């Protein structure tokens, strides 16, 4: 049984269940079924980890053998359907083995990004009460903390005793579970508050995998995947879609633009997008050549705000941009088709994907529902606050629809700076400031002010060789853009890089805390 009461989850309206089943969006297939069927066809496909500390090279079949031996070992230690398995691992082979083993067992997997510290890990372990926990003995600045998991029955540490959990004989087949049951709990990256445990079922996650795979260009090339597998979309892209499509897996355990460029040149890999930071850091790197750019055929962007300045730049280099909008709760809401009209691809967030419904509330908040919408949160109060009785998810994002029904996400309800009673959209100011010469990335946040309550501060990351502009230059640029004076930032802060979530988003709450000193 699951570790939290079913009352914590939402009830999907019967008419939606019937519609999803009739359309074939929801099937009786579990994640274990999806993996078993896909691996049977793709056993010889390459699986490789490009790592300085734990490189690995093999095939899907070899990883599946480890996963099935692990599944047998866990089953022998009392881990079964509905039990929770937490894994905090980098993009290594063992992460795939744990995820696949959990799916074959019908367990609920909880991916945790590898660089979360003791505070976050303790919070997640307390919220999920797992039967098993997997971690790396050491990676980067993180070390395994045995005191955090003293109450967990089964613990496996890669680099120490992971192999001791592998049974001699692999577990055959798949343990049958209800496809409506929880399959995965993904903790949000916490841009505004403590992480929330988002619960997905076999049906919602299976549909998301099929839907996301169908939205990708068929000629996208051999992908280099560096998005952390501890993050929801990183895991889907690394461990589910390749099995479904029979495409090679090439993982990296850190994002290093120089390494990515070297692999593009030497191994014929490519980078297909993600948060805009991945693409811009590649293009801005001194090793990037026209030959590299030629390999960047597509850029699927999402996971954070997608400025038009970035999409226009990529398109001018011959890189076809397509955008997507979604969240951990509802992973794929809209997408701009990769072969759609350029104006829509570059400047909107797309049209609803099959099965997805979207509408705007009176205040512009985006409301969504669809076959890949989660079951709710581990916290029943959060579930009640975010979902209504008709199955609509209240995203907290603000958007607009054009005459053709294409969505543009314009703001977060929480990403508003209130200066003397006037609301300032951070996203609006950021979009304009990205047009300043030499600016690689910008975040606009509110800082305390004794007179106005808040003032806007512009935090800039400059390209190599460029000086940070002064307030006079910044204000002239904003004036030429026609932005109202009360929206102009009144402080500039330069940074070498931003605090980021696993998906590459800027952690604005951390940034505000870093620079939150009262202005004079």
Cβ neighbourhood burial of 214 (10 Å; 0-12, 13-18, 19+): middle
Rounded to the nearest 5°, which phi and psi values hold at 4? -130, 155
Nearest to 502 by CA among 47, 116, 32: 116
CA-to-CA distance for 250 and 231, rounded, in angstroms? 17
Nearest to 319 by CA among 341, 338, 334: 338
Three-state DSSP string of 108-172: EEEECCCCCCHHHHHHHHHHHCCCEEEEECEECCEECCHHHHCCCCEEEEECCCHHHHCCCCCCC
Do residues 87 and 100 make contact, with C-beta atoms less than 8 angstroms apart? no
User: Domains in the chain, ordered, with CATH?
Assistant: 6-212 (3.40.50.12780), 216-227+246-412 (3.40.50.12780), 416-515 (3.30.300.30)
Rounded to the nearest 5°, which phi and psi values hold at 342? -60, -40
β-pair type (132-136, 84-88): parallel
Do residues 271 and 290 make contact, with C-beta atoms less than 8 angstroms apart? no
Please give the angle made by the CA atoms of 331, 27 and 62, to the nearest 5 degrees: 75
What does the block give as tokens for 402? 């054009």
Beta bridge partners of 401: 407
Reading the chain (520 residues) residue by residue, the pLDDT tens digits are: 445 566 579 999 999 999 999 999 999 999 999 999 999 999 999 999 999 999 999 999 999 999 999 999 999 999 999 999 999 999 999 999 999 999 999 999 999 988 778 888 888 999 999 999 999 999 987 889 999 999 999 999 999 999 999 999 999 999 999 999 999 999 885 444 567 899 999 999 999 999 999 999 999 999 999 989 998 889 999 999 999 999 999 999 999 999 999 999 999 999 998 878 888 889 999 999 999 999 999 999 886 667 788 899 999 999 999 999 999 999 999 999 999 999 999 999 999 999 999 999 999 999 999 999 999 999 899 999 999 999 999 999 899 999 999 999 987 777 778 787 677 888 889 999 999 999 999 999 988 877 677 889 999 999 999 999 999 999 999 999 888 788 899 999 999 999 988 778 888 888 888 887 544 4
Do residues 134 and 89 make contact, with C-beta atoms less than 8 angstroms apart? yes
């Amino acid at each position: 049984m699951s570790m939290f009461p079913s009352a914590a989850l939402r009830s999907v309206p019967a008419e939606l269940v019937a519609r999803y089943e009739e359309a074939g969006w929801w099937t009786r297939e579990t994640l274990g079924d999806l993996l078993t069927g896909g691996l049977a066809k793709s056993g010889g496909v390459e699986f490789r980890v490009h790592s300085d500390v734990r490189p690995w090279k093999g095939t899907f079949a070899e990883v599946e053998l480890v996963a099935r031996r692990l599944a047998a070992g866990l089953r022998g230690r009392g881990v079964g359907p509905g039990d929770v398995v937490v894994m905090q691992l980098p993009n290594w082979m063992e992460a795939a083995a744990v995820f696949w083993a959990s799916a074959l067992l019908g367990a609920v997997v909880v991916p945790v990004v590898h660089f979360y510290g003791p505070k976050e890990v303790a919070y997640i372990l307390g919220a999920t009460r797992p039967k098993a926990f997997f971690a790396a003995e050491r990676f980067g600045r993180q070390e395994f903390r045995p005191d955090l998991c003293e109450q967990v029955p089964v613990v496996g540490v890669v680099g120490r005793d992971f192999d001791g959990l592998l049974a001699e004989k692999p577990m055959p087949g798949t343990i049958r579970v209800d496809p409506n049951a929880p399959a995965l709990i993904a903790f949000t990256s916490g841009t505004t508050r403590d992480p929330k445990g988002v619960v997905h079922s076999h049906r919602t996650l299976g549909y998301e995998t099929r839907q996301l795979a169908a939205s990708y260009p068929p000629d996208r090339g051999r992908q280099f995947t560096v998005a952390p597998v501890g993050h929801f979309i990183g895991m889907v892209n690394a461990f589910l879609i390749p099995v479904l499509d029979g495409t090679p897996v090439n993982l990296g355990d850190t994002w290093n633009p120089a390494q990515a460029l070297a692999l593009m040149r030497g191994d014929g890999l490519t980078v297909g997008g993600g948060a805009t930071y991945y693409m811009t850091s590649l293009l801005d790197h001194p090793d990037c050549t026209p030959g590299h750019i030629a390999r960047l055929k597509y850029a699927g962007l999402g996971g954070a705000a997608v400025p038009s300045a970035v999409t226009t730049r990529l398109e001018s280099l011959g890189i076809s941009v397509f955008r997507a909008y979604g969240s951990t709760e509802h992973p794929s809401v809209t997408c701009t088709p990769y072969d759609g009209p350029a104006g829509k691809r570059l400047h909107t967030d797309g049209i609803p994907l099959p099965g997805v419904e979207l509408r705007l509330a009176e205040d512009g908040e985006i409301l969504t529902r669809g076959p890949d919408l989660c079951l709710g949160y581990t916290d029943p109060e959060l579930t009640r606050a975010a979902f209504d009785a008709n199955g609509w998810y209240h995203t907290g994002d603000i958007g607009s629809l054009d005459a053709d029904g294409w969505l543009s996400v314009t703001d977060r309800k929480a990403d508003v700076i209130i200066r003397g009673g006037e609301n300032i959209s951070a996203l609006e100011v950021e979009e304009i400031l990205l047009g300043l010469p030499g600016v690689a990335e910008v975040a606009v946040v509110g800082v305390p002010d004794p007179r106005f309550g808040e003032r806007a501060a512009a935090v800039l990351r400059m390209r190599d060789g460029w000086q940070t502009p002064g307030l006079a230059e910044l204000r002239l640029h904003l004036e030429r853009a026609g932005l109202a004076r009360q929206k102009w930032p009144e402080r500039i802060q330069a940074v070498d890089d931003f605090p980021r979530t696993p998906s590459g988003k800027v952690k604005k709450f951390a940034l505000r805390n870093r620079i939150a000193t009262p202005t004079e």
